[in-house]
Structure 1
Amino acid sequence: MNDSTTHRPGDATPPRVVILGTGMIGEVHRRAALLAGAQVIGAMASTPERSEAVAGRWRTTALRSLDDITRLAPDVVHVCSPNGLHVEHVEAALAAGAHVICEKPLAIGSRAAEALAATAADRNRVATVPFVYRYHPLVREIRSRAAQGEFGRWQLLHGSYLQDWLLSPSATSWRVDAATGGPSRAFADIGSHWCDLMEFVTGERISSLVAATTTTVAERPATSSRSFSASTATGGTLKRVDTEDAATVLFRTDSGVLGSVTVSQVSAGRKNRLWFEFDGEHRSAVFDQENPETVWLGSQSLAEVLQRDPARGTSEQRRLSVLPAGHPQGYAQCFENFVADTYATVRGELREGLPTFQDGVRSAHIVDAVLQSARTGQWVDVQRPLVALRATAV
């Protein structure tokens, strides 16, 4: 927040926010911002014409350039633009004195991500990344139980993240093009979520990995369509695909635990299936993001299904359960809780488990390692930040 209007704990002043990028995920950010009490004071799309059109629908101001951020002086800027624009957009937001929520990947490449995190810390800005699957209440339940030793030493960590929105050869998006989306697509886009969730829940950290990637559709239409939509481009010029449709990664953690993850955007019938099984010496836990109201917990003598319930379980599970038991909540509530926690942190209120730019840097190092291993066929160590980043002050 600008230094002249910094919120204090308990300050109920609605944050003033600007949203850069107004596609599918920009709409999700806007909804979560409004539900958290924010005032959307500006929006910028891919062209001035589109910015005017979206601003008209959203009943806000259209930004014609990044210079308008300084003029509008928002408290928080949501960066929802294509990956290749993240560095420029985050830098402009920080230069204007705003706190930042930036979509992942934070940047294309770990060096650029580290630079953004360092700038945010130097400017004393709250800077977060929407690894929102952390906000499923039962994910927090498993994490708390793991920290209390219920599962014992981890034996095996495995899972997948599968989608089918790019199954059709006529489906495309800006994400497919390495020039706008970065050299990794499927893994950077969704594999990053799985790895963040695994490390968040288990406390383990991936130390080394070997990866393989595949591009199953060699060419796609050059004209982009809306991400995750049913629409596909027809006719016109085809363009060679230079990003992966799927990837498999085998990894070891710092403590020597073996794990694996498979990611795909071409798995028929799988809409957004993030799934994990974490096997400990005493118990195992299974979570499926498409069915987030229950988790499976198993031991050698017993298997049980645990339901989300705001009246039971650990404090974080209860805090994030915004609906009564039996009233399903899912991705939308995760995003809403993440945005609300970011705004609370801006006000100076501490929130557990908030994913920050440092988590974005961590993810960028894992993506770099996956790309290097896929090129060489060799095991690769996941690099640590070149300089330890101090925690962002709140």
Structure 2
Amino acid sequence: MGAPIYLKDAPKVALIGGGFIGPVHCETLRRIGVPVAGVLEINPELGKRTADRLGIPKVFTDLDELMADPEIGSVHIASPNFVHYEQAMAALRAGKHVLCEKPLALTSAETGELAKAAAERPKQAAGVNYNVRFYPLCHEMKARIARGDLGQILSITGSYTQDWLLQPTDYNWRVEPDGATNLRAVSDIGTHWMDLAQFVSGLKIEQVMADLAIFHPERRKPVGGSETFTGSAAAERATEPVKIVTEDYGAVVMHWTGGVRGVYHVTQCQAGRKNRLSLEISGTEGSIVWDSESPNCMWIGRRGRSSELFERDPSIMDPSAEAISHYPGGHAEGFPDAFKQLALSFYGWIAGGSTGPAPFPTFADGHYEVQLCEAIARSAKAGRWEAVSD
């Protein structure tokens, strides 16, 4: 059922960054038979701790040493955002495949250069880790929309909500400005929503009108730093006050290709929502709703006959969705499986000779997401509609 789970003769991978998401990459690669041969951290001491914790055999002392290693054929970038451009460009120039966490870089000038460099190297896989695309029912939604089940698309709406930054004592490096758009909720999780909505609908967001809000103008920063999703900092550690300029909340009204309308909101301050992406696409013949907190179900709305709750079951799904669903109906697939399916598409494309359209989010997709963020930032500042540069 679906694609093979274990890949033979895959390139050896070096992991850059071992924070919250780095170990997810490591576990994912091992599930599909891709060897993780080395790790690079901000210094060799941290690299040694990460290597010991994750069972990685080699620690690189710096980026140059990693790129010069002929045994490393692919690089996974899970480091802080401000070093993505340097690391991704170095990997491309060294002839290595590269899968980068979002954002691809901080500015569209940087992402444009990376997209151009990737296009000049068509045999190198260059992807961005928009893993939400790879929940099977997201592919099912895409297939149904493409074959016209919803009729003419009218609107695309939804949200992405979390609560891990609800309190002023909650702190993480993500609340700090990046010196570019200085977006946080929109760029951190809103980009996942925008990528998924465009992937599923086959449409592009062309214009935006944005409203951003800061609920906590000051937060308490733990002395010595903090990790993602670790909860309130002030209860156990010394803190210092920090002025906040990145948004806790954002709402974006959108004009899509062909006159389609839409709106979504994003916040990391909604109590009880741990990590919920909700997407609703409405057309003249029906609508579909998918919720990442119930990823194995989607609601299909109809007028004139009963609506339906569709449960993930490869035996009755579109072939494109069946191919990325490896367990029978009733056997839940979730966050780690979406990572696995993205990695399988990435390394399966490499194993197939890197021919045909890339079946994973590309550097070109990552470039457009940063252009979207820049348009949203301009709109919020000027209080007007802004076109997305292309």
2:19 to 23, 34, 37: 23
Matched, 1:235 2:232: no
For residue 210 of structure 1, give the secondary structure of its aligned residue in structure 2: strand
- Indicate yes or no: 2:316 matched with 1:317: no
Paired residue for 1:300? Answer: 303
Per-residue deviation at 1:38?
1.2
TM-score (normalizing by structure 2): 0.92
SS of the residue 1:320 aligns to: coil
The aligned residue for residue 380 of structure 1 is 386
Alignment of 1:123-162 (within 5 A): 123-124=121-122, 125-162=124-161
RMSD: 1.7
Q: 2:37 aligns with which of 28, 37, 41?
A: 41
Q: State the secondary structure of the residue aligned to 2:379.
A: helix
Q: Deviations over 1:275-307 (max 9, x none)?
A: 011110000000001101110001112200111
SS of structure 1 residue aligned to 2:271: coil
**Shift in Å at residue 102 of structure 1?**
0.5
Counterpart-to-counterpart distance in 1, 2:382 and 2:194: 21
Deviation at 1:117, TM superposition (A): 1.3
Instruction: Give how far 1:196 is off.
Output: 0.9
Q: Contact conserved, 1:250 with 1:259, CA < 8 A, in 2?
A: yes
Task: Pick the aligned partner of 1:326 from 326, 330, 353.
Answer: 330
User: Contact 1:152–1:281 (CA<8 Å) still a contact in 2?
Assistant: yes
Query: What one-letter code is carried by the residue in structure 1 that aligns with 2:63?
Result: L
- Distance in 1, matches of 2:241 and 2:44, equals 27
Instruction: Determine helix, strand or coil for the equivalent of 1:239.
Output: strand
Matched residue type, 1:289: S
Structure 2: distance between partners of 1:340 and 1:232: 37
Cross-structure match for 2:58: 61
On the 8 A contact 1:341/1:351 being kept in 2, the answer is no
Hey, what does 2:273 align to over in structure 1?
270
* Superposed CA offset, 1:304-353 (max 9, x none): 01110011120022111111111111111001110111111122266774
Structure 1: any 5+ residue segments left out of the alignment? 1-9, 385-394
Give the 3 Å change call, closer, same or farther, for CA 126–187 of structure 1 in structure 2.
same
Q: Is the CA contact 1:84–1:182 (under 8 Å) kept in the aligned structure 2?
A: no
**1:104 corresponds to which residue?**
102
Give the letter aligned to residue 115 of structure 1. Answer: E
2:291 corresponds, among 288, 291, 296, to: 288
Shift of 1:39: 1.2
State the partner residue of 1:218: 217
What secondary structure sits across from 2:105 in the alignment? coil
Counterpart of 2:345 in structure 1 is 341
Whole-Å separation in 2 of the counterparts to 1:122 and 1:52: 35
2:365 match = 359
2:162, 2:273 within 8 Å by CA — same for their partners in 1? yes
Q: What pairs up with 1:239-258 in 2 under 5 angstroms?
A: 239-258=242-261
2:3 corresponds to which residue?
Answer: none
Alpha-carbon contact 1:287-1:294 (below 8 Å) kept = yes
Residues 15 and 37 in structure 1, CA contact (< 8 A), matched pair in contact too: no
Normalising by structure 1, report the TM-score. 0.91
Letter in 1 for 2:133: R
1: CA distance, partners of 2:118 / 2:202: 25
State the partner residue of 2:185.
Answer: 186
The share of aligned pairs that are identical, in percent, is: 35
- Name the CA distance, whole Å, in 2 between partners of 1:70 and 1:352: 24
Deviations 1:208-253 (A, max 9, x none): 1100111111122333311122352433211111211110000111
Gaps of 5+ in 2: 1-5
Q: Which amino acid aligns with 2:66?
A: I
* Matching residue's letter, 1:357: F
> How far has the Cα of 1:180 moved from its partner?
7.9
Q: Which moved more, 1:48-57 or 1:205-214?
A: 48-57
CA distance in 1, matches of 2:167, 2:359: 37
Deviates more, 1:230-239 or 1:247-256: 230-239
Deviation at 1:91, TM superposition (A): 1.6
Over 3 Å counting, the alpha-carbon distance change for 1:133 and 1:351 in structure 2 is farther
Alignment of 1:71-110 (within 5 A): 71-73=68-70, 74-110=72-108
How many residue pairs match? The answer is 375
Provide closer, same or farther for how the CA distance between residues 60 and 32 of structure 1 changes in structure 2, counting only shifts above 3 A: same
CA distance in 2, matches of 1:11, 1:84: 32
What letter matches 1:356 in structure 2?
T
| 3-state DSSP of counterpart to 2:262 | strand
- Partners of 2:371 and 2:98 lie apart in 1 by 21
Distance 2:115 2:266 in 1: 27
- Cα pair distance change 1:182/1:41, threshold 3 Å: farther
C-alpha distance in 2, partners of 1:267/1:180?
26
Which is further off, 166-175 or 368-377? 166-175
Deviation at 1:48, TM superposition (A): 2.2
Distance in 2 separating the partners of 1:97 and 1:162? 38
Q: Which one is further off, 191-200 or 219-228?
A: 219-228
Which stretch shifts more, 122-131 or 241-250? 122-131
